[in-house]
Chains A and B, each alone.
Chain A
Amino acid sequence: MSFLLYNYLHIYLFVALFLLFCGIAGVLYRRTLIGMLVSMELIMNGAGLNLAAFNRFVSPDNASGLAFTLIIMGIAAVEAALALSLIILIFRKYSHIEGGNLEEMKD
């Protein structure tokens, strides 16, 4: 069997690790809440790619990893909806969405 690049686990893991790094760097670097949310989506993409890759290469006789990737997608959708409603709420209250100087969330 010849050497095919997409038949190895580690290159998928490397891409997922890169997505995780970009997400962590974005959460730390971005100032607006929407930018932080975009970075969180990158982190969740990396986690789903990890699960699918491990399911395909390490335990190819069940489909639990693919199912949990779908569950991660659902959790990401719920998280995006709630976070965006909170962001719009914060924008209505404070007229900006910068994360550094949000100090109170009361009423």
Chain B
Amino acid sequence: MNVGEIVFLFIILATMCGAAMAVFSASIVYALVGLVVAMFGVAGLYIYLNSPFLAMMQILIYVGAITVLIAFAIMLAGPLYRRPSEWTTPGKFSVALGVALISLFLFVRFVVETFPKYGAPHFIMGTKDIGLAFVNELLLPFELISLLIVVGILGAIMLAIFSRGRR
């Protein structure tokens, strides 16, 4: 076991602990910290997948934008001193358990069937190839995502301007 594998295991452990902390911690601020840890872990996994551009974008968009946005929402809307008690019903619990078991069964089937098949092929797709894919065969999704972002921002601004709340 070399250094790369040790770092890889540490990254996986950090991702899993961060995800569990984001879901099951009592305070919403700690949940946000766990989400940041999980996102940094996923960025490290992108580096291990030979795509450092995705890792940079992950840190820039998720950690830099979305987390700050959620932090602002917590500060604006969260009465942190009044923690609501979490709730779960037997129906919801059974649905979650069913989804987990079915997914785990399919995952184990997939592992058993394909374990020796996919090794590690040579992978040299860099930032240039992603850009070429965006302007060649993925031009319509690229334009649609820009349109979606514009419409989303306009919708958020309209919601903020034309809402009259009562205190």
Instruction: Give me the interface of A with B, judged by CB distance under 8 Å.
Output: 4-15, 17-26, 28-32, 34-35, 37-39, 41-42, 45, 48-49, 52-53, 55-58, 60, 62-64, 66-71, 73-82, 84-89, 91-93, 95-98, 100
Q: Are B100 and A92 in contact (CB under 8 A)?
A: no
Residue picked from A8, A13, A19, most chain B C-beta under 10 Å:
A19
Contacts of B70 on A, CB cut-off 8 Å? 34, 37-38, 80, 84
Report yes or no: A63 in contact with B23, Cβ–Cβ below 8 A: no
Q: Which 8 A-B pairs have the closest CB atoms?
A: A92-B165, A7-B120, A78-B152, A26-B23, A91-B77, A22-B19, A85-B156, A63-B129
SS of A interface (majority): helix
Nearest CB of chain A from residue B10's CB, rounded to whole Å:
12
Q: Report the contact-size class of chain B (Cβ under 8 Å from the partner).
A: 35 or more
Chain B contacts to A: CB under 8 angstroms: 1-2, 4-5, 8-9, 12, 15-16, 19-20, 22-24, 28, 31-32, 35, 38-39, 42, 45-46, 48-51, 53-54, 57-58, 61-62, 65-66, 69-70, 72-74, 76-79, 84-88, 92-93, 95-96, 99-100, 103-104, 107, 110-111, 114-115, 118-123, 125, 129-130, 132-134, 137-138, 141-142, 145, 148-149, 152-153, 155-156, 159-160, 163, 165-167
A81–B118 CB distance below 8 A = no
**A-chain residues with CB within 8 Å of residue B153 when the two chains form the complex:** 78, 81
